[in-house]
Amino acid sequence: MIDPDASVLLESDDLRVQLLPLGATLCRFEVRLADGSWRNIMLGAPDVDAYRGPNRYIGATVGRVANRIAGARFLLDGTEYRLDANEGPNTLHSGDDGYDARDWTIAGRGPDWVEFALTSPDGDGGFPGTLRLTARYELVPGGAQVTYRGTTDAPTVVNLTTHPYVNVAGEASGTTDDQVLVVHASRFTPTDADGLPTGEVRDVAGTAVDFRAGRRLGDARDGVQAEGIARNRGLDHNFVVDGTGLREHCRLTSADGVTLTVVSDQPALQVYGGEHFDGTQVGTSGVPYVRRAGLALEAQGFPDAPNHPTFPSIVLRPGEEYRHTTSWLVSLASS
């Protein structure tokens, strides 16, 4: 486990959650199993420095705008803003100096909660407006929760997400292919070769990304490749979650019945299969992460929303509050 002096530990009888001020990062999520043993179900790193290197984004808070922005540019109120391009000509997770790479301050803490704070100045990464943010992590019945809040002094765009990689069979158990994913989404947003949304919103019915009734991840990965809708040789898809408000987005279940349920108020869920893991990323327990070692489940706004007027807006204006809540709830087969 990372040095306790460099992290925050929240714990109950059945859950231990470890967090880092670096990136307001969720770096460990341990659940007590029926036999009394503990299982860490989220990927991480053995030391803080790894989060600045090969394990970047794992469990971190990503922003000011998560996911991709085409051409590293967008228009807001008639003004064009140029961003830091870090994935070819495009912006991924707000550039090389996104919020995952920042040292957040601890604004307050208690036995079952901690609140991190960050001020992002006007022009940060090319984005307009000074943005003042908090990320409050807390234990809740059955799991843990984060609530993001933010205000700005000028019109801007905001789309934060937590970027955890989940493996409900255990952080060092290998591929997630045999785990079953349910996503409560009737539609998804197809992408081009660069992972940018085309603007279309397509029904999942009849495709390999129809997870509404549950699907084994290995079968889904084979299916998206066969159908020609794979990204990075597997899953990297944005789902339009059914309903509005705080609701269940998805569930991931291991062969032995450990289930993680993600509940959020966000309009979309990015599901990324961890195709980039190649053994160079060493995990929390010291075991290298193989391809597909974890599944990223990111509740967020639509990718590239500022460049698609038909997508839900991520514009934040002075006098408004950005607020985003996501919970991770755990259940066992016997419960």
Q: In the beta sheet, which residues pair with residue 203?
A: 187
pLDDT in tens, 48-69: 999 998 899 999 999 999 999 9
Peptide bond into 64 cis (omega under 30): yes
What is the 8-class DSSP label of residue 210? -
> Residue 97: helix, strand or coil by DSSP?
coil
Instruction: Calculate the alpha carbon distances from 53 to 56, 160, 257, 272 in Å.
Output: 6, 21, 33, 19
Which pLDDT does position 310 carry in this prediction? 97
Mean pLDDT by 10-residue block, N- to C-terminus, for the chain (335 residues)? Answer: 81 97 98 97 95 94 98 98 97 97 97 97 98 98 98 98 98 97 98 96 98 98 96 94 98 98 98 96 96 98 98 98 98 79
The pTM of this model reads 0.97
CA-nearest of 74, 120, 125, 84 to 313 is: 74
Question: To which residue do tokens 């032995």 refer?
Answer: 256
> Pick the catalytic residue: 163, 249, 308, 324?
163
Residue 80 falls in the annotated catalytic set: no
- Three-class DSSP category at 264: strand
The shares of helix, strand and coil residues in the chain, as percent rounded to the nearest 5, are 10, 45, 50
pLDDT at 134: 98
Active-site option among 115, 171, 298, 308: 298
- Residue 6 has a pLDDT of 82
**298 annotated active-site:** yes
Domains of the chain and CATH, by start:
4-331 (2.70.98.10)
Structure confidence by residue, pLDDT tens digits, 155-170: 999 999 999 999 999 9
C-beta atoms surrounding 235 within 10 Å:
27
